[in-house]
A and B are shown apart, each in its own frame.
Chain A
């Protein structure tokens, strides 16, 4: 395939990348190239055989593969060019892209780039769980692929550490497969994922949920034989004397997702330590001109629909950039304030509209979330597991007084 003369190159063909490629084409880009390392388009959606996708985007309740199919069809209908089984080795600060596949190595320089590499899972070592190095320990997402795509099961008796969405969904999946889920162990006083998953995946299947507990040791040299679980204090430290032993042959970890920005970093893109993703403006343009980002590579979303939606925003920015349009205007920083873990975008440039996502640090009740003096809303309860989406109109932005350099985003006690 001739790679010279590409207008917009999208890296990664998951829910974000496919949506970005489609929107780039719709927005008038001549040549859009979608680069994917796997054999087919769709990314992780293929292993997400449960439902709950598309409620926002299509107004329908779809499974992962069904959600993927709609995008895949559109990608091919619109004539997006695809490069499958192709790994991007490097993106240079000048947008030079080096790829590898079974045909060899190739380099090209598109007019604009959309990063849509998604995220990866936190590992056992990042939690520092001591013990042996036996077989039987997997991250929940890896196990999900093994079970749902490869048709293989890791074991019969399972403990799941972390109540992220993938963890809870795998608790249900493995129960349906005939395995026994001994417990889902969560260090926080509340589940890490969506309430709907707590209800549909744990409660409905009578799977024990141990809140304010953690795994303090794994046992077994060759194969996992069990784990030690202990209660934790309010500082999340295990309380001595509370340890219980649970026999199991499988431990799944659902303890957080990390935006995958190896390529971004080497391209010189500035990353936000709060999100793990690039810092961007409202068009999701990174600090490297012409390089945009959307979906989980930017910050980890609760819902796939929002990944797709945000990546479309990035694609629109990329098309404008490819056409030579540049955003002028002063830059205003959005800064997280009280009980706000992060805000995306991190800066606004020029005219609106602006869609921002934020997450709180701690669960609190009776709160008001405020974006400077531009927007506010009351929440009965705010939770770290539930992202808050805020739409600011161009009119809202015009209300900003001249000379404002920073807007603080706060989560305050509602008066």
Chain B
């Protein structure tokens, strides 16, 4: 007997899979989402600069390319979506620095292209206006192209909220469930997972970095994708005041983007250094770190190594890496009916809302009947973020639950109440708590709160502390009890 029987199976709990799940939950359709990690959004989604942009590359404002169109259609959808789901969203605007006439000409072309497709928001700012807007950026700049539409979000929280909303509207969400093989049997797919067999009629393959591997189970990999590793760094919050817009500087070398951007929480992100990589190897290298820092200093000359509180690397899948631009894969397989491949690669978060709608169109074409569900509830109550509340609300929260009066993460002021709530909503690892609550994301990088969060996790999950992991099986943080090795 099948472990799970459903109409539509979504493979992958990144931002795209979660967005598709949430979109499907508007209709009377049986659907389930599988994610192999212990929490949502842990692949490309979390290794992200959190920018909601129009692509910021050679394909920007070229509607003849699907990716360009999906990103661009998503822009106006993102803010209402975040508001519905209670996800942090902040419109900050983007300044692309201009240092010489060549750059000016290049960005003039971009602006013309944007206007041609009806996007009239771009404008040039002169030196004085630029430095009034951003007094700390390099004096090499003589002006900038200003795009007021650019925003930042929290991609992991967006993904979790999308999946949570989908779940509340009837989609099954299964974590720590890995797809090991897929076969066809008449009108059905038989999907082998570590939990058992799943039977379904439609598959949405949104497996992120492994989208090609999943497609290959059915020879539905009618595309070649290159895994490109991106390196990103995060600066201390104390430097958060240095810029208030996304700052973009033309990179020196191919395989680099030179961006500095304030996150919704006030840290600055910098990067991205891109290199072809081996999937699964999310390690950073000194070369990438040095390059990113060198680029950063071109934008913000005063910043030093000691200001970096965290660095990480993640993958995105590029369709034609060697050309320096790439198109996405959002298409139904030509060989396998009722099988849709979804990979944006970059910028997946920005493109997610429109991509989900596109996937539903593709599913419909493949024969899925979509009938609106009148009981669909679009709104989701966000978990309380204590530090962002006004004092009177903080006070009443503590009166309701005193654990909100216990600060566990001092750097980001995260309370025990928030951690317990995150665990109640599905966090079951140290990283899960971190991405949901920010505990451990501050300048001490968990030095203070790690022992405390481990204790809370063990208590709330009802497991021994020795079984608490950083990010799932095989990452046990404290596998032994003291004196255990002494026999």
Contacts and interface: CB of A to CB of B under 8 A. Distances in A.
A151 interface: yes
A221 B308 CA distance: 21
Nearest to A142: B447
A150 B444 contact: no
A222 B482 contact: no
A128 interface: yes
A105 B390 CA distance: 11
B451 A142 contact: yes
Interface in A130-186: 130-136, 138-139, 141-142, 145-147, 149-156, 177-179
Interface in B442-466: 444-448, 450-451, 454-455, 465-466
Residue picked from B308, B309, B311, B475, most chain A C-beta under 10 Å: B475
Contact of B471 (A120, A124, A135, A153): A135
Given A128-B308, A153-B480, A223-B474, A121 B485 contact: no
Contacts of A130: 283-286, 288-289, 311
Nearest to A180: B485
A50 interface: no
B405 interface: yes
Interface string B469-487: 1111111111111111111
Nearest to B312: A133
Interface stretch (A71-79, A96-104, A346-354): A96-104
A69 interface: no
A128 B309 CA distance: 9
A89 interface: yes
B282 interface: yes
Contacts of A138: 450
A156 B405 contact: no
Interface string B398-435: 11001101110011010000000000000000000000
B381 interface: no
Contacts of B411: 262
Interface string B300-331: 00000110111110000000000000000000
Contact of B447 (A103, A139, A262): A139
Nearest to A179: B485
B480 A101 contact: no
A132 B447 contact: no
Interface residues of B, number: 60
A177 B485 contact: yes
Contacts of B476: 135, 223
Residue picked from A101, A102, A154, most chain B C-beta under 10 Å: A102
Contacts of B471: 135, 222
B485 A153 contact: yes
A142 B283 contact: no
B177 interface: no
Nearest to A218: B283
Residue picked from B282, B289, B395, B407, most chain A C-beta under 10 Å: B407
A311 to B, nearest CB: 20
Contacts of A219: 283
A136 B310 CA distance: 17
Interface in B42-60: none
A415 to B, nearest CB: 38
Contact of B482 (A124, A131, A147): A147
B455 A150 contact: yes
A87 B407 contact: yes
A313 B286 CA distance: 45
A178 B485 CA distance: 5
Contacts of B451: 142, 145-146, 149-150
Nearest to B231: A130
B281 A156 contact: no
A123 B445 contact: yes
A124 B445 contact: yes
B280 A105 contact: no
Nearest to A47: B451
A67 B391 CA distance: 39
Residue picked from B472, B484, B486, most chain A C-beta under 10 Å: B484
Contacts of B447: 120-121, 123, 139, 141-142
Contacts of A102: 398, 402-403, 405-406
Contacts of B407: 37, 87, 89, 100
Given A85-B406, A101-B405, A125-B445, A134 B470 contact: yes
B108 interface: no
A222 B283 CA distance: 11
Given A135-B471, A146-B451, A105 B391 contact: yes
A203 B209 CA distance: 49
Contacts of B405: 100-105
Contacts of A63: none
B333 interface: no
Contact of A123 (B309, B312, B455, B466): B309
B138 interface: no
B385 interface: no
Contacts of B446: 142
B221 to A, nearest CB: 24
Contacts of B472: 222
A135 B478 CA distance: 9
A132 B470 CA distance: 13
Contact of A134 (B308, B475, B487): B475
B143 to A, nearest CB: 34
Residue picked from B281, B306, B478, B483, most chain A C-beta under 10 Å: B478
A216 interface: yes
B479 A155 contact: yes
Contacts of A120: 444, 447-448
Nearest to A174: B485
A222 B308 CA distance: 23
A222 B36 CA distance: 14
Nearest to A130: B284
A156 B478 contact: no
B283 A153 contact: no
A44 to B, nearest CB: 11
B467 to A, nearest CB: 11
Interface in A37-77: 37
Contacts of B312: 133
Interface string B257-283: 000000000000000000000001111
Interface string A327-344: 000000000000000000
A141 B451 CA distance: 11
A142 B451 CA distance: 7
Interface of B: 238, 280-286, 288-289, 305-306, 308-312, 391, 394-395, 398-399, 402-403, 405-407, 410-411, 413, 444-448, 450-451, 454-455, 465-466, 469-487
29 contacts: A37-B407, A87-B407, A87-B410, A102-B405, A124-B445, A125-B308, A130-B284, A130-B285, A132-B282, A135-B476, A135-B477, A136-B477, A142-B447, A145-B451, A150-B454, A152-B466, A153-B480, A153-B482, A153-B484, A177-B486, A178-B484, A221-B281, A221-B282, A222-B470, A222-B475, A223-B474, A223-B475, A223-B476, A265-B238
Given A104-B405, A154-B477, A221-B283, 8 more contacts: A100-B407, A103-B398, A130-B284, A133-B312, A135-B471, A153-B480, A154-B478, A177-B486
Question: What are the 5 tightest A-B residue pairs by CB atom distance, in nearest-first order?
Answer: A178-B485, A135-B470, A102-B402, A152-B478, A153-B480
